[in-house]
Structure 1
Amino acid sequence: MESGANIIVAIALEDLRRFHKEVIADTKKELEAQIAEDKGERYLSIKQVCEMLDVDPSTLWRWRKRGYLVPAEVGRRPRYRLSDVRRMLNNGRAAQ
């Protein structure tokens, strides 16, 4: 297909409603899972993360500047999400 081509698709109203409900239900499940994960989130100090990853604080500073492992600011202090540290250990990079 060429981009910009006009295509007409016919779909039954009931199929569209069913699809709509499925999308909403899937999105709701994903959001509920994320909220549950966030509620149970632990935040680690620089020292704790350094011990866990066996790195120097300067390495964490460098990773922060590069966007590799970015902390959250909790009370004006950088705190690292345990889930980000675990994700990094498993996949090699933390989510931003």
Structure 2
Amino acid sequence: MAAEIINSILDGPKGIYLVVDASDMKVAFREFLQMIRESEDEKRAYDEELATVTREEACKIFNRSYSTLLRWEKDGYLVPVKIGKTPLYKMSDIKDVLNQNFGKP
């Protein structure tokens, strides 16, 4: 709400002065911090969605063999994204498989 008021003042006539007390500044600062946190959370979620690992790294994460990952791929359990001929596993898919195996939501 404070951001809307400030924007309306900025868009209005020039030469307007504001008197702001400490509690108003505190509210505005908290709203600003919340907006920054939400923006960072969205960016982190986007980055995590795009993050990939190699087949070797996926083997280490799951503590499984290369042939197990190939079988999972064949069964459609964990399908890699291929960049050229290089198979890469999305971290979001890996987390989904880990959550299924350990019963996490």
Query: Normalised by the size of structure 2, how large is the TM-score?
Result: 0.49
Structure 1 partner of 2:52: 43
CA RMSD of aligned residues (A): 1.9
Distance in 2 between residues matched to 1:71 and 1:43, nearest whole Å = 9
The structure with the largest alpha-carbon Rg is 2
Structure 1 partner of 2:88: 79
Structure 2 partner of 1:8: none
**What is the aligned counterpart of 1:64 among 73, 84, 91?**
73
Deviation at 1:75, TM superposition (A): 2.8
Q: Which has the higher helix share?
A: 2
- Read off the aligned partner of 1:78 and give its amino acid letter: P
* Unpaired runs of at least 5, structure 2: 1-41
Distance in 2 between residues matched to 1:69 and 1:85, nearest whole Å = 7
The share of aligned pairs that are identical, in percent, is 36
Misfit runs of 4+, over 3 Å: none
How many residue pairs get aligned? The number is: 58
* Unpaired runs of at least 5, structure 1: 1-32
